[in-house]
Copies of this chain bind each other. A is one copy, B any other.
Amino acid sequence: MEFKQITKDSGCGARLGVIATPHGEVRTPAFMPVGTQGAVKALMPEQVRGLGADIILGNTYHLYLRPGHRLIAEMGGLHRFMNWPGPILTDSGGFQIYSLGALRTITDEGVLFQSHIDGSSHFLGPESAVAIQEALGSDIMMCLDECIAYPADRNEVERALARTARWAERCRKSRKTSDRALFGIVQGGVYPDLRRRGTEEMTTIGFDGYAIGGLSVGEPKELMLENLASTAPLLPEDRPRYLMGVGTPEDHVEGVFYGIDMFDCVMPTRSARNGLLFTNREKVVIKNARYREDGSPIDSECDCYTCQNYSRAYLRHLYVTGEILAMVLNTIHNLRYYLRLMERMREAIREGRYPRFRDRFLRERADPGVVCGTATGIGG
């Protein structure tokens, strides 16, 4: 993996770059649609690509349980299995396992957990987390880390941070492939000094890229931004920076401002299936009676297939009657909204006007109508 920085905005931390992977290039800042179980929910890969996605995310926890990483390896790897020829980043499975709550026990060795599907017992350690991701054929693998919910006392966060460092070391040692990237994850809760310590530990071990984990897990938005703002600039300039599982369009605009290159979140796809549609101006809850006779598109400024061809009245009808096509068309719109926002941010950085872009974006979305807190949990 190679990360090439094309330009940096002089007025803030925003960077424009390209990540080269064995399966193609990723333009950064990049949003990665989530393909939890080997599919970006409701869409064919060609549609995902057509919406502007360079890379997607796969969930190790889900794929390990069903259909199993060995089966996927036998079928030629995840790319071939799901017909997505582009880059894939996989998470370590850790985050989903922590979300299991009572169903898991964490020790220094790793995590003992019970499947949410059938209750069967499984063990995931740093070595197996890497081995599973290698079997899947991931282009960018993530270290197993220990994520702590908010609020948590400082001692607990510190203990998890130390374990995350030991696990990261073991992940790095256990990898068998050299052409696939491995990212370290910085934890540290909402304690900037612990985040600093986490950054030092990760960069000392040395990874192909660095992620900020454990944000947007229930903490107030200000604390999230504060920790993002203080941590991002500490990460090495010459490596991709990934803000895990966050979040709203505003979060992405802020993340890029502080120097983040990669994002993932289930918000656009999950909201779409719940009939919540993103626009720059208003929140569209498509089932509302006010859209019953509304012949206009979701967003007249949007260039997506859904907005080019369908009215709010039709989309409301599909949603209310439970048509599968509602899920497809809504997902197309929301993903395009997120991916187009990335395009607009990349353009603003290229033209050296990112701070102005950010100010205007945040001002215009006075009432974004989007709930904070985007933790994925088991649902994927």
State the A residues within 8 Å of B (CB): 37-39, 41-44, 66-67, 71, 74-76, 81-83, 292-293, 295, 305, 309-311, 313-314, 316-318, 320-321, 323-325, 327-329
Q: A41-B324, A75-B311, A328-B328 are in contact. List 4 more A-B contacts (CB 8 A).
A: A41-B325, A44-B329, A67-B317, A75-B295
* Residues in B neighbouring A317, C-beta threshold 8 A: 37-38, 66-67
The minimal Cβ–Cβ distance linking A279 to chain B, given in whole angstroms, is 20
* Residues in B neighbouring A325, C-beta threshold 8 A: 39, 41-44
B37 contacts A313, C-beta separation under 8 Å: no
Q: Once bound together, how far apart are the Cα atoms of A329 and B323, in whole Å? A: 16
Q: Which residue of B lies closest to A70 (CB)?
A: B293
What are 25 A-B residue pairs whose CB atoms fall within 8 Å in the complex? Answer: A37-B323, A38-B318, A39-B318, A39-B323, A39-B325, A41-B323, A41-B325, A42-B328, A44-B325, A66-B317, A66-B320, A67-B292, A67-B313, A67-B316, A71-B292, A71-B293, A74-B293, A75-B314, A76-B295, A81-B311, A81-B313, A83-B310, A83-B314, A324-B324, A328-B328
* Residues in B neighbouring A76, C-beta threshold 8 A: 295
The minimal Cβ–Cβ distance linking A269 to chain B, given in whole angstroms, is 10
The minimal Cβ–Cβ distance linking A61 to chain B, given in whole angstroms, is 13
* Shortest beta-carbon contacts, A-B, top 6: A42-B324, A67-B317, A39-B325, A83-B309, A37-B321, A39-B323
A324 contacts B327, C-beta separation under 8 Å: yes
Q: Once bound together, how far apart are the Cα atoms of A67 and B292, in whole Å? A: 8
Q: Once bound together, how far apart are the Cα atoms of A42 and B320, in whole Å? A: 15
* Residues in B neighbouring A309, C-beta threshold 8 A: 83
Q: Once bound together, how far apart are the Cα atoms of A81 and B293, in whole Å? A: 11
Query: CB within 8 A of A66: which of B44, B321, B327?
Result: B321
Q: Once bound together, how far apart are the Cα atoms of A76 and B311, in whole Å? A: 11
Q: Once bound together, how far apart are the Cα atoms of A295 and B37, in whole Å? A: 18
The minimal Cβ–Cβ distance linking A266 to chain B, given in whole angstroms, is 14
* Residues in B neighbouring A43, C-beta threshold 8 A: 325
Q: Once bound together, how far apart are the Cα atoms of A275 and B305, in whole Å? A: 28
Q: Once bound together, how far apart are the Cα atoms of A75 and B293, in whole Å? A: 8
B81 contacts A38, C-beta separation under 8 Å: no
Q: Once bound together, how far apart are the Cα atoms of A293 and B75, in whole Å? A: 8
* Residues in B neighbouring A310, C-beta threshold 8 A: 83
Q: Once bound together, how far apart are the Cα atoms of A37 and B326, in whole Å? A: 12
Q: Which residue of B lies closest to A320 (CB)?
A: B66
Given A321-B66, A323-B37, residue A313 in contact with residue B71 (CB < 8 A): yes
Q: Once bound together, how far apart are the Cα atoms of A39 and B309, in whole Å? A: 13
The minimal Cβ–Cβ distance linking A111 to chain B, given in whole angstroms, is 22
* Residues in B neighbouring A82, C-beta threshold 8 A: 314
Q: Which residue of B lies closest to A310 (CB)?
A: B83
Q: Once bound together, how far apart are the Cα atoms of A82 and B323, in whole Å? A: 12
The minimal Cβ–Cβ distance linking A88 to chain B, given in whole angstroms, is 15
Q: Which residue of B lies closest to A66 (CB)?
A: B321
* Residues in B neighbouring A313, C-beta threshold 8 A: 67, 71, 75, 81
Q: Once bound together, how far apart are the Cα atoms of A321 and B118, in whole Å? A: 13
Q: Which residue of B lies closest to A322 (CB)?
A: B37
The minimal Cβ–Cβ distance linking A306 to chain B, given in whole angstroms, is 9
* Residues in B neighbouring A38, C-beta threshold 8 A: 314, 317-318
Name the residue among A39, A313, A314, A325 with the largest chain B CB count within 10 angstroms.
A325
* Residues in B neighbouring A320, C-beta threshold 8 A: 66-67
